[in-house]
Amino acid sequence: MIKPSKVKFISIRLEKEFESLEEGNFLKKAIKRAINDLHQNAFCGVQIPKRLFPVEYIQKYSINNLWK
């Protein structure tokens, strides 16, 4: 199933750090490619089983779905 999606950074600080990377930076290119892939298809990654969710993520972000 192909489903378009929105991509958001977990915090403003993280987004600012990402934006501060130079345009030619390998990491920035890889993250932009991943974001583009997610925009096109929300299910392009690997779903993590619920039993493996970090407790901190559940408590802090109230997640019920996690992909990598």
- Residue 3 within a domain: no
- pLDDT, residue 51, reads 95
What is the pTM for the complete model shown? 0.71
- 67 is a domain residue: no
Q: From CA 10, how far away is CA 65, in angstroms rounded? A: 14
Domain-located, residue 7: no
Which pair of structure tokens corresponds to residue 50? Answer: 């619920």
Instruction: Provide the b/e sequence for 16-27 (b: ≥16 CB within 10 Å).
Output: eeeeeeeeeeee
Q: What are the pLDDT digits (tens) for 32-62? A: 999 999 888 888 888 999 999 999 999 998 9
In a domain, 19, yes or no: yes
Task: Give domain status of residue 5, yes or no.
Answer: no
Instruction: Report helix, strand or coil for 59.
Output: helix
| Residue-number span of the structural domain to which 53 is assigned | 12-61
> Long-range pairs for 49-54 at CB < 8 Å and ≥24 separation?
none
pLDDT at 21: 95
Higher pLDDT, 27 or 4: 27
Q: Beta partners for 67? A: 47
* pLDDT at residue 61, rounded to an integer: 87
